[in-house]
A = this chain, B = another copy of it.
Amino acid sequence: MEPLLEKFAKLGCDNAPGQEGRQKTVELELRGEKLEGIPVDFSHGDVDAFPPIPGALTNFVGGVEKVGARQAYTEYRGGRRTREDLAGKLSAFTGAAIDPEKNIILAPGTQGALFLAVGANMVPGDKVAIVEPDYFANRKLVEFLGGELVPVQMDYWGTADQGRAGLDLEGLEQTFRGGVKLFLFSNPNNPTGVIYSPEEVGRIAALAKEYGVTLIVDELYSRQVFDGRSYTHLCAQAERPDNLVTIIGPSKTESLSGYRLGVAFGTDSIIDRMEKLQAIVSLRAPGYCQAVFASWFAEPEGWLEQRIAEHQAIRDALLAKLRSCPGVTARTTEAGSYLFPKLPPLAVPVEDFIRILRLYANATVTPGTEFGPQFTQHFRINFSQNREAAEAAVDRIVTMVERYRG
């Protein structure tokens, strides 16, 4: 195969969230009747069920009508006032020192920030460590940029009651010793929803410092923490590596995904390179949309607490339903809106089962293999949905598990 085609063969997005409608039709064995019900797309959150922060649209319109050209054409790293506002808010949230002139860049979505961060910290041939399971784009980014993927395992299931994520820290050190240049990971973890313990975060930071490894920490879901748990920001650790970028954005808990807004903050030389890359990738985060950042970390009193409580209640309801099905296991989500259940053995491949769910049970989920090749019995759901519709859809999923039990 030509190098170009070979490269893109690794970058499939047919199973990626929201892309399911583009899948080729395949023959599927339907057992029993089709299950009717309000369709639920668990591949991403429903911003109709959990609408954007109040006032977001007003801020957008103000950006267009009152600020005008200055809002449309910001510096590539984002408008100065917005950077100043965000540096203050994110310093207060994380405990890190952030200079708005040097340490922060706005990007088109958290995905945009992640692309810039990875692209600005590796060249073809570099070894890059990633966690399994972790966000599916991490591995694809490294593959597109010509890096060598070095997986590190996370035993999130075996450590479910130990208050830690379960990262194989010895394995991580081995990869660092073996020449890894860059380590990227999400905390809270996507897809499992587990939080790294203070000890895990501290050890990752210390190892990166010791071996001179650059760290990219995706903290997209770090505001939505359940059960009153604590969360440890790596960027605020006393002992941390010289090269560190933290990524966060208002697309998830705050439902602002339609505005494509993300932020990265960290080491100034990295932010400089990210801006150079942004200059050729998309110029800047959408200018008018940048005005919407004013709504973030400035939500009405009690708004965030209520949102967290509602998500926690949905989590509990769906977990109870899933666990009522013999053979289905799932660690309790500690933060964020994801569940990553493991299914019992089925009579059909999991990819087929997931298509059956979509076509015959009105439930769209993301296959586990997107998060690591070994997760052949898993799927991910985003439970930021209308609660009633989500509960009915999980009932349908459970019914289908029973029908296809192997």
Residue A288 CB within 8 A of the other chain: yes
Residue A13 CB within 8 A of the other chain: yes
**A287 surroundings in chain B (CB, below 8 A):** 257-260
**Additional 13 contacts, C-beta under 8 A, given A72-B258, A109-B282:** A4-B123, A11-B276, A16-B76, A19-B75, A46-B69, A47-B69, A48-B69, A51-B68, A63-B258, A108-B112, A137-B279, A260-B289, A286-B289
Most buried by B among A12, A63, A111, A120: A111
Q: How far is the CB of A148 from chain B (nearest CB, A)?
A: 14
Digit string of A275-310 for contact with B (CB within 8 Å is 1, else 0)? 111011111111111000000000000000000000
**A349 surroundings in chain B (CB, below 8 A):** none
- Can you sample 25 A-B contacts with CB below 8 Å? A4-B121, A8-B120, A11-B276, A16-B279, A18-B73, A18-B76, A19-B76, A46-B69, A60-B60, A61-B61, A64-B258, A108-B108, A108-B282, A111-B280, A111-B282, A124-B124, A137-B280, A141-B280, A144-B280, A257-B287, A258-B287, A259-B286, A260-B286, A282-B282, A286-B286
Q: Is A281's CB under 8 angstroms from B111's CB? A: yes
Closest to A22 in B: B75
Closest to A16 in B: B279
Contact among B44, B140, B146 with A279 in the assembled complex (CB-CB below 8 Å) = B140
**A63 surroundings in chain B (CB, below 8 A):** 258
Q: Is A13's CB under 8 angstroms from B76's CB? A: yes
Residue A207 CB within 8 A of the other chain: no
Closest to A20 in B: B75
Residue A228 CB within 8 A of the other chain: no
Residue A232 CB within 8 A of the other chain: no
Residue A158 CB within 8 A of the other chain: no
Q: Is A282's CB under 8 angstroms from B112's CB? A: yes
Q: How far is the CB of A78 from chain B (nearest CB, A)?
A: 12
Q: Is A257's CB under 8 angstroms from B124's CB? A: no
Closest to A120 in B: B8
Q: Is B279's CB under 8 angstroms from A258's CB? A: no
